[in-house]
Amino acid sequence: MISERQEKLLNFLIREYISTAEPVSSLGLKKIMDLDVCGATIRNDLQELAKEGYITQPHTSAGRVPTQKAYRHFAQKMESARQREMDEFIVRQIRYAHQEMENQMKMMEELMQTLENDNLFDILNILEKWHKKI
């Protein structure tokens, strides 16, 4: 299991590697991420990610590159985020539709009440308001 900071490091490392196709150094990550931790902390986190199989280092003095496991992890996180956004969008649409239905019901109740009072002018005003909302 990787920490939240390691998750962020991995995310930035993958994005940087995708954009440059070059191994990413700890110093490069520090500059990109503007982290408030020292380079040694980043290197320790990168070592943990390597132990977990998320990144590899082509040779001793090189930066790190993501592995297949890292890409799968990244894609799953992106899909989860996309699904959450879609779920939130659907909930917002349902709430909006529910509110609109409540508004329509209120107008219908007003119309019914006016019909009971037999005031034709009021009925026409309510129908006009209702028609404009649709």
CATH at residue 12: 1.10.10.10
Domain count, the chain: 2
pLDDT of residue 28: 83
- Domain contains 128: yes
- Domain contains 73: no
pLDDT of residue 119: 67
pLDDT in tens, the chain (134 residues): 889 889 989 999 999 999 999 999 888 888 887 777 888 888 899 999 999 999 998 887 778 999 999 999 999 999 998 999 999 999 999 999 999 999 888 888 887 776 666 666 777 777 787 777 66
pLDDT of residue 74: 92
The DSSP string of 65-106 is EE-HHHHHHHHHHHHHHHHHHHHHHHHHHHHHHHHHHHHHHH
Range of the domain at 122: 80-133
Closest CA to 4 of 40, 38, 35: 35
Residue recorded with tokens 């790190």: 64
- Domain contains 71: no
- Domain contains 31: yes
pLDDT of residue 64: 92
- Same domain, yes or no, for 42 and 11? yes
- Domain contains 112: yes
